[in-house]
Chain A
């Protein structure tokens, strides 16, 4: 029931593909852009291995050291436990956010709600207030529930701003998929839910994957709520990162080390998620 949609609409056509020169130019452009884009990050990552006296320097060559790594895991930074907290909170957020947002996105895309096209905006509208204004009443809510300094509180707080965006991102993908796909499946006897699960979702996978990346990153890097809602036990990486800024300035090489740990999961996940893009690239829906 699937046909192939070749993604490379922007890639040179079969005829043009023979134009080697253009192909090479394209690849060169890709390499150049990637290098330029990522160079600042490489610089930051390199700093993690510089001895403190070199951290503020422009020197390209330096004697790398693992001392910063050890220092970060030690008191007072305690990278290990902060990392664990971040992992648990983010995993919890993702596990709940993706199904919830996908369901909501589908609902908004395929059904009408009171309020018409403005209805989905209500969900997004909860995001129009900056966190700094919401944080004090939110703090009061969690305080009253006795949930301060817990990872669950952070998961809930994260969900409150991940779900609306993720819903909208996935909704865009559902919107772009023609309705006849599901109708075909339903004619074949499947219920609406089954149609959703077996036909629509696989095709919208790139969209869900992107929303997952977004949710992961936003949750992983969330700082202000984490700062306010935690005390000792549930402190996450971004707050730990800021603790490398002391009254005496930034422990820059420690921050870079923590930055490594902040970035690393992203590398892994984005590599993993590419698989879903590739799947979307070579398979689509029958028209």
Chain B
């Protein structure tokens, strides 16, 4: 992290590095710069005459409307509540159009094929980018022109929108993994909070034996967007294997991959510490299982904390504990992160205005304001993507210390591989996992079959069907 002095770039509040001289000097430079510009433009030299977040002054796009397509989330509703601020600064009206999360991709697809630029900014999952890159506008030039510092994000977040060397968006919503556990049950059983997968198994077994509650909930079911693959990737990378090798051929069925997959399914099959319903659980069921007291731990995205302590849960806040995501053996294996960037649609007729919006909606101050505002349940969220926000003491205080723990999970985190044919590959893989767990298919055989299919798919993607 290096803090360059970039004129006109606003510094986030709550930034707890040594304020002292650096900030004073920055203030001076900024103010001087502002005065210089103001004088040049013939305006009175007010300290606030330049706009924050590198927004263009003098409202060049006033009167335009930017349409945003995104799924419902309290974070987005919180942003929506504050859109008036953006309109005041730039005169641009922003309209949020919500689409059910499960249908977001369908909607993006239809609009991409037949649309007429109805949406200017679109939220998407990082794993969809490879197939959709042709429908988004690269923002590299805009980032450079406005000197946006992408280092303000964890590397895995900012890299999520980069495909084939070009940048297709800014991370607005992103999730690291955490290990959640029942503090009371762990205390009761005398289990320790694990930091590795092996420790997790041991603790789960102890808790299960001592308290009768299932040790861990897993989500092995096929469907709901390949949810059963996230933890599989933890295992795969944790055993030194990966999806494809350098030449693009599948390697997940190599020795490491087989061990990894075996480890993944063995939580249920061999160690028997997984909730028996896990073969049918999707991510939501898994979270629900813990929230209803049916399981003592789970490994999933950080936002589930609000579900575990929310009105849908039978648990109280002091029963819910969280720790950085467990890793393998040497404790250095990567964790998984999933990111939802905002991108500018290639069909948009006002890309400039859309870029102004992007700059505003990704500014760290807005983020801090949202994650520290717990006044309304419908707009209170913990999701933040800036390193500064995650490290901020104020933010951590408002959010039970979750962001700091999330930062630890983010060390060495990776996002899913970006392939144009990822949906097909994911489908093959999630089916394979489902067959191993539900139909008892042996791991090596299932992986070999899957590798054959993946090879066929990746070969086919280059050219004609065959």
Chain A residues within 8 Å of B, Cβ to Cβ:
51-53, 55-57, 75-76, 135-137, 139-140, 143, 148, 227-228, 231-232, 239, 242-250
B100 touches A245 (CB 8 A): yes
The answer, among B95, B106, B284, for a CB contact under 8 Å with A228, is B106
Which chain B positions have C-beta within 8 A of A140?
114
Nearest CB on B from A190, distance (A): 51
A143 touches B116 (CB 8 A): yes
B118 touches A231 (CB 8 A): yes
B113 touches A136 (CB 8 A): yes
B307 touches A248 (CB 8 A): yes
Which chain A positions have C-beta within 8 A of B98?
76, 243
The answer, among B95, B100, B303, B314, for a CB contact under 8 Å with A242, is B100
Nearest CB on A from B121, distance (A): 15
A57 touches B72 (CB 8 A): no
- Whole-angstrom distance between the alpha carbons of A227 and B284 in the complex? 23
B71 touches A246 (CB 8 A): yes
Which chain A positions have C-beta within 8 A of B99?
227, 243
Which chain B positions have C-beta within 8 A of A51?
311
B97 touches A231 (CB 8 A): yes
Nearest chain-A residue to B286 (Cβ)?
A: A249
Chain B residues within 8 Å of A, Cβ to Cβ:
71-73, 77, 95, 97-103, 106-107, 110, 113-116, 118, 283-284, 287-288, 291-292, 303-304, 306-307, 310-314, 378
A135 touches B314 (CB 8 A): no
A249 touches B307 (CB 8 A): yes
Nearest CB on A from B380, distance (A): 13
Which chain A positions have C-beta within 8 A of B292?
56-57
Q: Which of B283, B288, B312, B314 has the most CB of A within 10 A?
A: B312
B114 touches A139 (CB 8 A): yes
The answer, among B95, B110, B314, for a CB contact under 8 Å with A136, is B110
The answer, among A53, A76, A136, A243, for a CB contact under 8 Å with B311, is A53
Nearest CB on A from B111, distance (A): 9
Nearest chain-A residue to B289 (Cβ)?
A: A56
- Whole-angstrom distance between the alpha carbons of A244 and B103 in the complex? 12
Nearest CB on A from B272, distance (A): 24
Which chain B positions have C-beta within 8 A of A228?
106-107, 110
Across the A-B interface, give the 4 residue pairs with the lowest CB-CB distance, nearest first.
A249-B284, A242-B100, A52-B311, A52-B312
- Whole-angstrom distance between the alpha carbons of A199 and B100 in the complex? 49
Which chain B positions have C-beta within 8 A of A227?
99-100, 103, 106-107
B106 touches A248 (CB 8 A): no
- Whole-angstrom distance between the alpha carbons of A193 and B19 in the complex? 90
Q: Which of A76, A242, A247 has the most CB of B within 10 A?
A: A247
Q: Which of A51, A143, A231, A242 has the most CB of B within 10 A?
A: A231
Nearest CB on B from A69, distance (A): 16
A247 touches B71 (CB 8 A): yes
The answer, among A53, A136, A139, A245, for a CB contact under 8 Å with B101, is A245
Which chain B positions have C-beta within 8 A of A248?
73, 284, 287, 303-304, 306-307
Nearest CB on B from A151, distance (A): 17
Nearest chain-A residue to B69 (Cβ)?
A: A231
Q: Which of A76, A143, A228, A249 has the most CB of B within 10 A?
A: A249
B114 touches A243 (CB 8 A): no
B102 touches A242 (CB 8 A): yes
Nearest CB on B from A241, distance (A): 9
Q: Which of A57, A148, A248 has the most CB of B within 10 A?
A: A248
The answer, among A136, A249, A250, for a CB contact under 8 Å with B114, is A136
Nearest chain-B residue to A240 (Cβ)?
A: B100
B312 touches A242 (CB 8 A): no
A245 touches B102 (CB 8 A): yes
A139 touches B102 (CB 8 A): no
27 contacts between A and B (CB under 8 A): A52-B311, A53-B313, A55-B312, A56-B291, A56-B292, A56-B312, A76-B72, A137-B114, A143-B114, A148-B118, A227-B99, A227-B103, A227-B107, A228-B106, A232-B95, A232-B97, A239-B100, A242-B102, A242-B103, A243-B72, A243-B100, A244-B100, A246-B73, A246-B101, A248-B73, A248-B303, A248-B307
B101 touches A135 (CB 8 A): no
- Whole-angstrom distance between the alpha carbons of A245 and B73 in the complex? 10
B110 touches A249 (CB 8 A): no
Which chain A positions have C-beta within 8 A of B101?
245-247
| With A56-B292, A56-B312, A57-B292 as contacts: A247 and B287 at CB distance below 8 Å | no
Which chain A positions have C-beta within 8 A of B288?
56, 249
Which chain B positions have C-beta within 8 A of A57?
292
Which chain B positions have C-beta within 8 A of A55?
312
Nearest chain-A residue to B307 (Cβ)?
A: A248
Which chain B positions have C-beta within 8 A of A53?
311-314
Nearest CB on A from B105, distance (A): 12
B106 touches A246 (CB 8 A): no
Which chain A positions have C-beta within 8 A of B116?
143
| With A136-B110, A228-B110 as contacts: A249 and B77 at CB distance below 8 Å | no
- Whole-angstrom distance between the alpha carbons of A135 and B103 in the complex? 14
The answer, among B115, B287, B378, for a CB contact under 8 Å with A249, is B287
Nearest CB on B from A266, distance (A): 23
Nearest CB on B from A243, distance (A): 5
Nearest chain-B residue to A132 (Cβ)?
A: B106
Which chain B positions have C-beta within 8 A of A231?
97, 118
Nearest CB on A from B425, distance (A): 21
Nearest chain-B residue to A74 (Cβ)?
A: B378
B77 touches A76 (CB 8 A): yes
- Whole-angstrom distance between the alpha carbons of A139 and B118 in the complex? 13
- Whole-angstrom distance between the alpha carbons of A250 and B287 in the complex? 11
Which chain B positions have C-beta within 8 A of A247?
71-73, 101, 303
Nearest chain-B residue to A231 (Cβ)?
A: B97
Which chain B positions have C-beta within 8 A of A135?
110
Apart from A232-B97, A249-B283, 20 more pairs, CB < 8 Å: A52-B310, A53-B312, A53-B314, A56-B288, A56-B291, A76-B72, A140-B114, A143-B115, A143-B116, A227-B100, A232-B95, A239-B100, A242-B100, A243-B72, A243-B98, A245-B100, A246-B71, A247-B71, A247-B73, A249-B307
